[in-house]
Amino acid sequence: MSTAKIEQIAEPAVNSKSNAKSIKAAEQIAKTAGEAPAASVHAAEHITKATTEALTRSSTAAIAGIQELTTAYQTIATKRAEKLTSSILALVSVNSPVEFVELQHKLINESVSAAIADSSTIAQLTGAVFTAAFPVRVGLMGIS
């Protein structure tokens, strides 16, 4: 069919009042259809940006936390090495077997107490690092 023939057939339909509403509806559908992809792209950009920002914050918190944990481990190791040196010097300087056993008992108790305290400190720091790096949204996760 030729273009002129199509225009002749379409012209009365476009000019008729009964089809005016249909044309407006079609135009609205076309406009809405054109806006939907733009809205989807905008939403995807927003989600991507929010996700990237969250990952950046999470990574920064994880790095800072790991540095803090490393410092805590180094501090504990230094403290334990100093305590070991002073303990050995104290054990060497005793004058009797009874004094040796008493000092050994005291040093063992101090070591166990220090190990428990250090473990507690490391556990709290580790928990803080994971909480900062991977925040859990209780409402979203369904956790009570």
Helix spans in the chain (H): 3-15, 20-92, 97-133, 138-141
Question: Residue 69 pLDDT more than 50?
Answer: yes
Quick check: 124 and 69 in contact, CB under 8 A?
no
Residue 89, pLDDT score = 94
* pLDDT score for 107: 95
Tokens representing residue 106 in the block: 């005291």
Structural domain boundaries enclosing 51: 18-136
Hey, which of 15-19, 24-28, 54-58 has the most confident mean pLDDT? 54-58
Mean pLDDT of the chain: 77
**What is the tally of structural domains in the chain?**
1
- The pTM score is 0.56
Which residues are CB-neighbours of 132 under 8 A, at least 6 positions away?
58, 61, 62, 64, 65
Averaged pLDDT, 44-66 = 79
In a domain, 35, yes or no: yes
58 close to 134: Cβ distance less than 8 angstroms: yes
Q: Is the pLDDT of residue 10 over 50?
A: no
Whether residue 109 contacts residue 46, with contact meaning beta carbons closer than 8 Å, is answered with no
Q: Would residue 11 count as lying in a domain?
A: no
Residue in the block written with tokens 């305290």: 117
Q: Does 4 reside within a domain?
A: no
pLDDT above 70 as % of the chain: 65
Res 22: pLDDT: 62
Structural domain includes residue 104: yes
User: Quick check: is 91 in a domain?
Assistant: yes
Contact 83, 111 (CB under 8 A): yes
Which residue did the predictor score with more confidence, 99 or 35? 99
In a domain, 62, yes or no: yes
